[in-house]
Structure 1
């Protein structure tokens, strides 16, 4: 079964949609993160949860 590590990003209501999109694209491109879930809360706060697969190297004898 695949193992993942997670990172949560929080964006305030004053941040533009373009700035949020650029930040998510940068994390995806340079950190190899994928967008897993986005939640929009009352007051306009967005929380995005990113995940990436943990690759474990198997030792060969």
Structure 2
């Protein structure tokens, strides 16, 4: 199983993104219950939600998960 995290861009010139994405790729030979268990763990502990699942002809599966990016603003001025 391969996981790729695409974080939200945070530079001053980057547009503000609402979500960050996690792409989980499951090869054809891996068991479906094992893949579902990994998805459940990400959803429960990492606050991820499943956005899209894709099944390819060879048996490979890809799951795109997302979670909301929380922007925290400083409320205390430090001198």
Tell me the TM-score normalized by structure 1.
0.87
Q: CA deviation at 1:51?
A: 0.3
Tell me the TM-score normalized by structure 2.
0.69
Q: Does 1:58 align with 2:35?
A: no
With a CA cutoff of 8 Å and minimum separation of 6, indicate the structure with the bigger relative contact order: 1
Question: What is the CA RMSD across the aligned residues, in angstroms?
Answer: 1.6
Larger Cα Rg: Structure 1 or Structure 2?
2
Q: How many residues align?
A: 61
User: How far does the alpha carbon of each residue in 1:8-46 deviate from its partner, in whole angstroms, 9 at most, with x for none?
Assistant: 000011111110110100111111111010011110000
- Structure with more of its chain in helix, by fraction: 1
Which segments of structure 1 move beyond 6 Å, counting only runs of 4 or more? none
